[in-house]
Structures are given as C-alpha cells and as structure tokens.
Amino acid sequence: MFVQKNTLTARVKLVNRHNLIKELPMNQQHSQSKRFDLLAWIITIMFGATFTLTPVVIHFYHIESFLRIIIAFVPMMMFVLFLLRFNHTVKSLDELGRRIHVETLVTAFVIMALFSVLGPCLSLAFQWKEAGEILQSIILLPIYYSIAAVIVRRRYL
Amino acid sequence: MKNRLRVLRAEKSWSQADLAEQLGVSRQTINSIETEKYEPSLSLAFKVAKLFGKSVEEIFLFNNERG
C-alpha cells in the first residue's frame, strides 16, 4: 500500500517539476511575512519598557501621592494588554502552532526551574550572591521561553 | 504514523501552501505531517480524508511499534 520513500520523492518531483521551489524544506523557505504581528511586538516592547522604567521614574523624580499609584500600575496594565494579545495570537494559530506554544511554555518553565536550582548552587560554590537572585528572577522568563521555542520548533519544523 | 499525504498532494499538483489553505492550517503544519514529525488531530485527519475523497485509513497508516 505504501510506496518506498525514494519512489515517493521521485514521484513528487515528477509531478511538480515546474514547481520545485515549493518542495524545498521549511528551513530553506522564507517565512510568511503576514505572520509578523506588529501590534503584539509593540505591546511586548511597551510592557518591557514600562516594567523596567517605572521604578526608575518614580525614584528619580520623587513622584508622590495619587500620581505615584497610577504610574506604579502602568506595567500591570501593559501586562494585561500583553496577555490579551498573546491569547489572541495563540487562538489565531492552527493546531501545530498551538501545540508548539504549549510545549514551549512547559519547556520554558522546566528551564526556569533548572536555573532556579542552579542559582543557589552557584551562590554556594563560588560565593556569588547575585547568581541566586538573578537566575531565580521571573524577568528571565522571556529568555527561557526563547530557548524553549528553539528546542521545540526543532522537533516539529 | 506513516502517511501518503505527499503522494496524494502530488497527484493533484498542489503545493503545500495550496493544501494548507484548503485545510485551514499553516504550510508548516502540512510540511510537518508529510515529514512525519507531527501527527495530525483526528479532526484534521478527517478533513484531509474528505478533501482527497478517501478514508482516513487510506491516507494514514498506524504504526503499532512507534504508537
């Protein structure tokens, strides 16, 4: 019922010999630019910027009272926007895309757990106090997510 | 799980993008299924079967050893 793999490839090439470019492996094709979500990137960058800069602004400009409370919650508002956009992006993906996202998140948390254990170990071994604090920080989650994305995408794409 | 998706697609002279559009998935998904890196969901398998006018068993072969 199933033909040998070599025969399959030959047959595909025969049928589509005028469209061989379409038969290139994924990693040799250009990614579809329509998948680039500009709004998602803007919101992500805005969240990162507000999360980093808000404490600096409050401390350096000695902002007090009600305005301080409003400014302090700007990163939270940006994070809610980020989550909404993230949810929208995941919903717009097909089943493989969603699977990759879920596996990436799980892998990212595993990597985060590994580094959380590694941090205190480095602190004890090299008397490097900052290592424990830095590696346990949830701020590194985007980096862990990026590492996990590379690992998971290699498995499926 | 082995499949005949690449052959069936070739018989119709469809590109991966053409097939992906008709099934409402990405081209990457089609590529991953063809290279047997990803096993489609039941609903997608039925969609594929319906599109090619065949039964699911004619397109996808369950390999007992690999699961």
pLDDT single digits (tens) A34-76? 556 788 889 989 988 998 898 888 888 877 788 888 888 999 9
Query: What superfamily in CATH does domain B2-61 come from?
Result: lambda repressor-like DNA-binding domains (1.10.260.40)
Q: pLDDT category, A27, cuts 50, 70, 90?
A: very low
How far apart CA A99 and CA A96 sit, in angstroms, is: 5
Flag whether residue A126 sits within 8 Å of chain B, measured between CB atoms.
Answer: no
Q: Please give the C-alpha separations between residue B12 and each of A3, A105, B15, B30, in angstroms, as whole numbers.
A: 17, 38, 9, 15
pLDDT of res. A18: 43
Write the CB contacts of B23 (distance below 8 Å, at least 6 apart in sequence). Answer: B30, B44, B47, B48, B51
> What percent of chain A is predicted at pLDDT more than 70?
77
Q: Where are the domains of chain B?
A: 2-61
CB contact under 8 A, A95 and B29: yes
CB contact under 8 A, B11 and A155: no
- The 3-state DSSP class for residue A2 equals coil
pLDDT of B67 strictly over 60: no
ipTM above 0.90, yes or no: no
CB contact under 8 A, A22 and B15: yes
Measured in whole angstroms, the distance separating CA A117 from the mean position of its chain's CA atoms is: 22
Q: Are A19 and B15 in contact (CB under 8 A)?
A: yes
State pLDDT tens for residues B7-59: 999 999 999 999 999 999 999 999 999 999 999 999 999 999 999 999 999 99
Chain A residues with CB-CB distance to B37 below 8 A: 155-157
- Helix, strand, coil proportions of chain B in percent (round to 5)? 55, 5, 35
Flag whether residue B66 sits within 8 Å of chain A, measured between CB atoms.
Answer: no
